[in-house]
């Protein structure tokens, strides 16, 4: 009788839990989850911050005893094939999977940290984990002055959520438009208008230089300065924004420390091949931390596809992972003011590309697709998204597109 292979997964997020579920009883699986909370869907944290969902609503399916919550892997011994944990445990493995996710980028702002310190001032929050979300929620009240630094997907979500809670929100974006990686100029302008109508003050082409803080200690001189509290945000042009809350939404960076310490190749992320293997054939990487063919996706769809491909490889004939064509989808509205958007592929046309665009200012819908030859290569939809699935399938499958009009209309041509 052959014993089951021991699979240790470092990371209790979407990718790691999907892999554990797919492996089922075909392997002896242990998942190490650093966070003490029950696993949750990180994509929906903004809905919790906005007060639309309770934390338990975004919980992922219970993985059972395979998950060890609140346990952090601190070292990988490749020679002994052992993972050492902060609780003193040492777990042997036949296969190790790194699903360590990513960390928020903390920009080099003056006043963010004290010399030799790594503690954020009171009122300054990253927005990546449930703990971040709960801490931020505890500080938000109607009328509080909040500045969100970063106008990408995460920053827009955070700003919208804070506005829904009654905060006075300023969104500071360094580039010339919001969500420039996903949206074309017209779609970004519509998003700008939508957020402005919600009372969000938006500054684009705006570089943040630093934070101003004050000591919260009763006798700063006697207590070495004591804890600090944020009071404002300084812009590069000298303008100062008053702030009681600051959200750092400046992107994320793959968590690669364990892999680097173990001597694995790391570039933008942990480098893997078509079987999601690192340079050590017994160690794989999936999700936000993995770099495949030079690409780090940082999206849920890619994490799930990688987990499925790796599960198939570990339980049967090797399955080649060839990459993910990921769709970005975001709902920016609550009751009475929905504003949905979706983007996929190349949204900026090259010379010679055809662009098909339909816009309805009254209904606040916008749809544009980029066509190269007879192939759909990208698109943006705002407002009504009934046809986004058909468009995304045509793009993902490289289908011939004899007519696009029926896919851009509200009824999909029916």
Question: Which pLDDT tens digit goes with each residue over 278-326?
Answer: 999 999 999 999 999 999 999 899 999 999 999 999 998 988 999 998 7
Domain 124-248 sits in which CATH superfamily? FAD/NAD(P)-binding domain (3.50.50.60)
The CATH code of domain 6-103+252-315 reads: 3.50.50.60
Question: How is 280-304 classified by DSSP, letter by letter?
Answer: STTEEE-GGGEEETTB---SHHHHH
Question: How is 196-245 classified by DSSP, letter by letter?
Answer: HHTT-EEE-S--EEEEEEEE-SSSTTTTTT-SEEEEEEEETTS-EEE-SE
Contact status, residue 99 vs residue 16, Cβ threshold 8 Å: yes
**From CA 227, how far away is CA 213, in angstroms rounded?**
10
pLDDT of residue 36: 94
The CATH code of domain 339-408 reads: 3.30.390.30
- Tally of CB atoms within 10 A around 256: 24
**From CA 355, how far away is CA 378, in angstroms rounded?**
10
- For 79, half-sphere exposure in the C-beta direction (CA atoms, 13 angstrom radius) is 0
Q: Which residues of 132-142 are buried (b: 16+ CB within 10 A; e: fewer)?
A: bbeebbeebee
Contact status, residue 60 vs residue 41, Cβ threshold 8 Å: yes
| CATH 3.30.390.30 placement within the chain | 339-408
H or E stretch at 6: strand 6-10
| CATH 3.50.50.60 placement within the chain | 6-103+252-315, 124-248
**From CA 120, how far away is CA 325, in angstroms rounded?**
37
- Nearest Cα to 79, choosing from 342, 286, 280, 217? 280
Per-residue tens of pLDDT for the chain, all 414 residues: 357 999 999 999 999 999 999 998 899 999 999 999 999 999 899 999 999 999 999 999 888 889 999 999 999 999 999 999 999 999 999 999 999 999 999 999 999 998 877 899 999 999 999 999 999 999 999 999 999 999 999 999 999 999 999 999 999 999 999 999 888 888 899 999 999 999 999 999 999 999 999 987 665 444 444 589 999 999 999 999 999 999 999 999 999 999 999 999 999 999 999 999 999 999 999 999 999 999 999 989 999 999 999 999 999 898 899 999 878 888 765 545 567 889 988 888 999 999 988 888 777 888 899 999 888 899 999 887 877 878 887 887 777 666 566 666 654 433
pTM over 0.85: yes
**From CA 69, how far away is CA 176, in angstroms rounded?**
42
Contact status, residue 391 vs residue 343, Cβ threshold 8 Å: no
Which residues share a beta bridge with 340? Answer: 331
Contact status, residue 404 vs residue 388, Cβ threshold 8 Å: no
pLDDT of residue 63: 86
pLDDT digits (tens, 9 = 90+) for 80-102: 999 999 999 999 999 999 999 99
Contact status, residue 292 vs residue 303, Cβ threshold 8 Å: no
H or E stretch at 330: strand 327-331
13 vs 47, 67, 303, CA distance in Å? 18, 11, 10
H or E stretch at 399: none
* Token code pair at residue 236: 């590069």
**DSSP letter, residue 12:** -
């Amino acid at each position: 009788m052959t014993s089951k292979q021991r699979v240790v997964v470092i990371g209790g997020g979407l990718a790691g839990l999907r892999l554990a579920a797919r492996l089922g009883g075909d392997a002896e699986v242990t998942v190490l989850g650093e966070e003490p909370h029950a696993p949750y869907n990180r994509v929906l944290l903004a809905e919790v911050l906005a007060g639309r969902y309770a934390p338990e609503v975004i919980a992922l399916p219970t993985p059972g005893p395979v998950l060890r919550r609140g346990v952090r892997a601190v070292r990988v011994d490749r020679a002994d094939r052992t993972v050492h944990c902060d609780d003193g445990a040492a777990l042997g493995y036949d296969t190790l999977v790194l699903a360590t996710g990513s960390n928020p980028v903390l920009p080099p702002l003056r006043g963010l940290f004290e010399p030799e310190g790594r503690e954020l001032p009171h009122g300054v929050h990253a927005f990546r984990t449930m703990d971040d979300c709960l801490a931020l929620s505890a500080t938000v009240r109607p009328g509080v002055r909040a500045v969100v630094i970063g106008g990408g997907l995460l920053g827009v979500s955070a700003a919208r959520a804070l506005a829904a809670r009654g905060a006075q929100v300023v969104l500071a974006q360094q580039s010339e438009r919001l969500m420039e990686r996903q949206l074309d100029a017209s779609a970004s302008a519509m998003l700008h208008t939508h957020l402005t109508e919600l009372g969000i003050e938006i500054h684009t082409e705006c570089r943040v230089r630093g934070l101003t803080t004050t000591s919260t200690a009763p006798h700063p001189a006697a207590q070495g300065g004591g804890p600090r509290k944020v009071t404002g945000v300084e812009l590069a042009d000298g303008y100062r924004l008053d702030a009681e809350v600051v959200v750092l939404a400046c992107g994320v960076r793959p968590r690669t420390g364990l892999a680097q310490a173990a001597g694995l190749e790391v570039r933008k992320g942990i480098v893997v091949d078509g079987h999601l293997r690192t340079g050590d054939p017994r160690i794989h990487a999936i999700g936000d931390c993995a770099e495949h063919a030079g690409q780090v996706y940082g999206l849920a769809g890619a994490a799930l596809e990688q987990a499925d491909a790796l599960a198939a490889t570990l339980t049967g004939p090797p399955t080649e992972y060839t990459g993910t064509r990921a769709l970005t989808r975001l709902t920016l509205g609550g009751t009475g003011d929905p504003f949905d958007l979706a983007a996929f592929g190349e949204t900026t046309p090259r010379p010679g590309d055809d662009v098909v665009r339909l816009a309805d200012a009254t209904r606040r819908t916008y749809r544009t697709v980029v066509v190269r030859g007879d192939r759909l290569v990208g698109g943006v939809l705002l407002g009504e998204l009934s046809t986004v699935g058909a468009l995304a399938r045509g793009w993902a499958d490289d289908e011939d597109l004899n007519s696009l009009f029926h896919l851009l209309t509200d009824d999909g041509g029916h």
